[in-house]
Amino acid sequence: MSSELENLRKEIENIDKQIVELLAKRLKISMKIGEIKNKIGKSVTDEKREEVVKNYWIENAKIFGLPESLVNSILPLIFSYSKLYQINPGQKRNVTIIGYGGMARSLVSLLSLAGHNVVVTGRDRNKASALANEFKCVYMNLENALKWGELIILALPPAAIEYIRSILSKPVIRDKIVMDIFSSKDKAFKELEEMSIKHSFKFVSTHPLFGPILYPVGERIAIIPSKSSEDSFKEVVEFWKESGLVPVITTVEEHEKAMAIVQVLSHFYILGLSRSIESAKRELEIDKISDLQTTNFREILKIINRVNELYPVIIEIQNSNPYAYKVREIGVKELQELDKEIGEKT
Q: Cβ neighbours of residue 199 under 8 Å, at least 6 residues apart?
A: 168, 169, 173, 174
The predicted structure's pLDDT at residue 291:
85
Q: Position 48: which residue type?
A: K
The 10 Å Cβ neighbour count of residue 35 is 10
Residue 97 DSSP SS3: strand
DSSP secondary structure letters along 22-41: HHHHHHHHHHHHHHHHHHHT
Strands in 40-116 per DSSP E = 94-98
Beta sheet of 177-180, edge-to-edge order = 138-139, 117-121, 94-98, 151-154, 177-180, 202-208, 220-224, 246-249
The predicted structure's pLDDT at residue 137:
94
The predicted structure's pLDDT at residue 90:
61
The predicted structure's pLDDT at residue 346:
56
The predicted structure's pLDDT at residue 105:
97
Helix 188-199 vs helix 161-168: angle between axes, to the nearest 10 degrees? 20
The predicted structure's pLDDT at residue 263:
95
Contact 206, 224 (CB under 8 A): yes
* Mean pLDDT, the chain cut into blocks of 10 residues (346 residues total): 84 93 91 82 81 92 90 86 73 93 95 92 96 95 96 94 94 95 91 95 96 90 94 92 91 96 96 95 88 90 92 91 96 94 75
The predicted structure's pLDDT at residue 308:
93
Residue 94 DSSP SS3: strand
